[in-house]
Amino acid sequence: MTPHGIDHLELFTGEPARLTAYLRDGLGFAEHADVPFPAEDRTSVLLTQGQIELVVSAPRQPGRAAAFVARHGEGVADVALRVADAAAAFDSAVARGARPVREPITFGQTVIGVVGGPGDIVHSLVERPGREPSKAGPLRLVDHVAMCLPAGMLAPSTRFYRDVFGFDTIFEEKIEIGDQGMDSKVVQSPSGGITFTLIEPDIARAPGQIDAFLDRHGGAGVQHVALMTEDIVSSVAELEARDVEFLTAPLRYYDTLAARVTTMTDRIQVLRERNVLVDRDHWGVLLQIFTKPVHPSGAFFFELIERRQARTFGSGNVRALYEAVEQERRASLAASP
């Protein structure tokens, strides 16, 4: 049974007050005290915006949350997938090779089973009634989730999503910058409602951004979550007013933008002022920007994305992301005692 959308993302943290304040006061999520699927080993807060649901959880006794925080510090532990029948989806996933984590249980009108994904990531399979989108903030839905994988895990992880969930590979790219490099593949559900960008370092080249994430995070994990907005320039302005910090674009990026994306010539100055990246594909234009890391380790961050009919991820912007994060990494290393 193929999942048809992202139900919610659960982030484990040892500092729930800080992370919750960032999501609520910075990114504009509405906070809710009641979580519809509580767990005994952790305390949780639900935050919503548009069709996005984030659950911030902190361990209160030994269990999966405590183990995750001990190993990784903070990050996305569960990318929960919406299904029509949780019991059938769980049985199907396990039969196709997924690792069972928890058999389906019922919370009121919600049924949830859990299977393992890459590394310590799990996928809850959630069956529950539809809900109205939250009106809080400028963000609308999860566009994609990017996972960093140790070298050698890209091919088997791609097969996992194809064989277990019926996803298709819709994009792949090898990026080389200087003496560093990485390989990526994008897998997507047939409905288009779930998209994962899978990335591994090229170990034949010098260590770089992906290696740094794997070291800081302690293995495979979610590097960033892309949140869609209808007007990225106004959204960035609103979030900056809330003290959200974004990565700056690489030097000279906007000097070549007019030649690369001719339809955006009249917008270059405002895009430069907000550090918004732009690329195009055969269908339209893509605009992106990335927050500075959310956790002190520098491992995890968010992306804001606006799609103007674009269907891909922008090869130029993938490179720009790598360069921007690499600049941030080098600046951090230079500032370290």
CA atoms of 152 and 137, how far apart (whole Å) = 39
Which residues contact residue 74 at a Cβ distance below 8 angstroms, ignoring those fewer than 6 apart? 11, 12, 13, 14, 15, 19, 294, 295, 297, 299, 300
Listed residue (70, 174, 194) closest to 126, CA to CA? 194
Give the rounded percent of residues in the chain with a pLDDT score beyond 90.
Answer: 67
User: Would you state the pLDDT for residue 327?
Assistant: 65
User: Would you state the pLDDT for residue 71?
Assistant: 96
Say what the pTM is.
0.91
Which CATH fold would you assign to the domain 5-127?
Answer: 2,3-Dihydroxybiphenyl 1,2-Dioxygenase; domain 1 (3.10.180)
Would you say 303 and 314 are in contact if contact means Cβ atoms under 8 Å apart?
A: no
Q: 26: buried, middle or exposed (CB in 10 Å: 19+, 13-18, 0-12)?
A: middle
Say whether 323 sits in a helix, a strand or coil: helix
User: Would you state the pLDDT for residue 316?
Assistant: 65
Q: Where in the chain is the domain with CATH 3.10.180.10?
A: 5-127, 139-335
Listed residue (75, 53, 66) closest to 227, CA to CA? 53
pLDDT tens digits for range 195-243? 999 999 988 787 888 899 999 999 999 999 999 999 999 999 999 999 9
User: Would you state the pLDDT for residue 251?
Assistant: 65
Would you say 47 and 11 are in contact if contact means Cβ atoms under 8 Å apart?
A: no
pLDDT tens digits for range 132-179? 888 889 999 999 999 999 999 999 999 999 999 999 999 888 877 767
In this structure, is the dihedral angle defined by the CA atoms of residues 95, 101, 107 and 110, taken in order, positive or negative? negative
Q: What rounded mean pLDDT belongs to the chain?
A: 90
- Looking at residue 148, its amino acid is C
Say how far residue 109 (Cα) sits from the centre of its chain. 28
User: Would you state the pLDDT for residue 52?
Assistant: 97
Q: Please state which CATH number belongs to domain 139-335.
A: 3.10.180.10
> Strands across the sheet with 5-13, in order?
30-32, 42-49, 52-59, 5-13, 74-82, 122-127, 110-116, 100-107
Query: Which parts of the chain sit beneath pLDDT 50?
Result: none
